[in-house]
């Protein structure tokens, strides 16, 4: 197994408060890993520590063989570590089309034909965005903004795509559309780290689940083990 992302003994936090403690996880190339756990468990902070937004006090993070420690958030993103953050995975002041173009411009090792093909795929996937290319992204509905955020992931060709609760506050039909798109990304072979409260989708897509609690890993296993309730996590 080749690891796309490796986290070893990570400690991270805000100011003097350590909120991630001794967290280790491995995301195999091409797999989907779900990070689950109750409110405040440390899911968002973990993603923040990986992108360089949250201060890491010790531990190691690698993207493939590249050590990320010491790299800036920008350098990590440029290496292919992409995050769709909770609620704001787009540039609200730019148009829909500019948002997509910027994502496509950040893609590494792709040609024009690939870009055109991906553009066509997202148009088909999210007809709600059709004809809106010159609209400012910030004026789209919440669901449409999230569709745009996921569309950007199709164009950015990420090495590892991390998503933080893309379903939050959205209607079930929209969540279903978003997750159909995520499933396509998975089938394309994209390595995915999924943080989700909507565990139904997370358990359906994930190959491996990490359950966090108080900033540490409480359980690692396949979705079936969690569904069976063997781990005894009441929030599921
Ligand atoms: N900006 C911040 N400053 C200080 N403490 C923070 C900050 N953000 C989060 N925390 C604390 O870090 C811990 C982990 O929070 P985090 O947001 O990572 O959890 P989460 O698993 O993403 O929760 P949720 O499911 O509510 O999104 C919590 O105790 C939280 O209060
Ligand atoms: Mg969170």
Give residue-wise pLDDT tens across range 26-49: 999 999 999 999 999 999 999 999
d(CA 134, CA 21): 45
With respect to residue 119, please indicate whether it lies within any of the assigned structural domains: no
Which of 13, 15, 37, 44 has most ligand 1 atoms within 8 Å of its beta carbon, as the pocket-test mutant? 44
Residues in the chain: 236
Please state, in angstroms and as integers, the Cα–Cα distance from residue 144 to each residue in 56, 133, 140, 163, following that order.
34, 12, 6, 16
Per the structure, the complete domain to which residue 27 belongs is given by 1-80+208-216
With respect to residue 61, please indicate whether it lies within any of the assigned structural domains: yes
* CB of 16 sitting under 6 A from ligand 1: no
With respect to residue 100, please indicate whether it lies within any of the assigned structural domains: no
Burial call 11-43: b when 16+ CB within 10 Å, e when fewer: bbbeeeeebbbebebbbbeebbbbbbbeeebbb
With respect to residue 184, please indicate whether it lies within any of the assigned structural domains: no
Residue 1 has pLDDT above 90, yes or no: no
Distance of CA 44 to the CA centre of its chain: 10
Q: Quote the pLDDT of residue 18.
A: 97
Q: Quote the pLDDT of residue 132.
A: 93
d(CA 169, CA 143): 9
With respect to residue 7, please indicate whether it lies within any of the assigned structural domains: yes
**pLDDT bracket for residue 166 (50, 70, 90):** very high
* pTM of the predicted structure, to 2 decimals: 0.94
* CB of 37 sitting under 6 A from ligand 1: yes
d(CA 27, CA 34): 10
With respect to residue 226, please indicate whether it lies within any of the assigned structural domains: no
User: How does the average pLDDT of the chain come out, rounded?
Assistant: 93
CA angle 124, 35, 188 (to 5 degrees): 30
What is the tally of structural domains in the chain?
1
* Structural contact between residues 128 and 180, judged by C-beta atoms closer than 8 angstroms: no
- Listed in sequence order, the residues at least 6 apart from 207 whose beta carbon sits closer than 8 Å to its beta carbon are 28, 31, 32, 33, 222
With respect to residue 179, please indicate whether it lies within any of the assigned structural domains: no
**Rounded to the nearest whole angstrom, what is the distance from the C-alpha of residue 132 to the centroid of ligand 2?**
30
Neighbours of ion ligand 2 (CB under 5 A): 43-44
Mean pLDDT of 195-211: 92
* Structural contact between residues 80 and 160, judged by C-beta atoms closer than 8 angstroms: yes
Q: Which two tokens stand for residue 206?
A: 């994930």
Indicate which ligand has the atom closest to the C-alpha of 235. 1
With respect to residue 56, please indicate whether it lies within any of the assigned structural domains: yes
Residue 175 has pLDDT above 70, yes or no: yes
CATH of the domain at 38: 3.40.50.300
pLDDT digits (tens, 9 = 90+) for 139-152: 999 999 999 999 99
Q: Which residue has the tokens 């949250």?
A: 54
């Amino acid at each position: 197994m080749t690891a796309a992302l490796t986290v070893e003994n990570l400690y991270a936090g805000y100011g003097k408060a350590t909120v991630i403690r001794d967290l280790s996880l491995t995301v195999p190339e091409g797999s989907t890993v779900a990070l689950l756990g109750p409110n405040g468990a440390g899911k968002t902070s973990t993603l923040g520590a990986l992108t360089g937004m949250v201060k890491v006090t010790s531990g190691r993070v690698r993207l493939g063989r590249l050590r990320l420690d010491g790299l800036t958030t920008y350098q990590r993103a440029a290496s292919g570590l992409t995050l769709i953050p909770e609620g704001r995975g787009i540039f609200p002041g730019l148009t829909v089309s500019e948002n997509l173009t910027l994502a496509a411009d950040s893609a590494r090792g792709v040609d024009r034909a690939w870009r055109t093909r991906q553009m066509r795929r997202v148009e088909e996937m999210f007809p709600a965005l059709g004809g809106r290319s010159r609209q400012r992204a910030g004026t789209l509905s919440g669901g449409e903004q999230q569709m745009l955020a996921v569309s950007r992931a199709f164009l950015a060709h990420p090495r590892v795509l991390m998503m933080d609760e893309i379903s939050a506050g959205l209607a079930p039909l929209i969540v279903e559309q978003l997750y159909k798109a995520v499933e396509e990304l998975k089938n394309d072979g994209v390595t995915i780290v999924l943080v989700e409260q909507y565990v139904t989708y997370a358990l359906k897509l994930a190959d491996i689940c990490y359950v966090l609690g108080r900033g540490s890993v409480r359980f690692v296993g396949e979705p079936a083990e969690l569904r069976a309730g063997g781990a005894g996590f009441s929030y599921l």
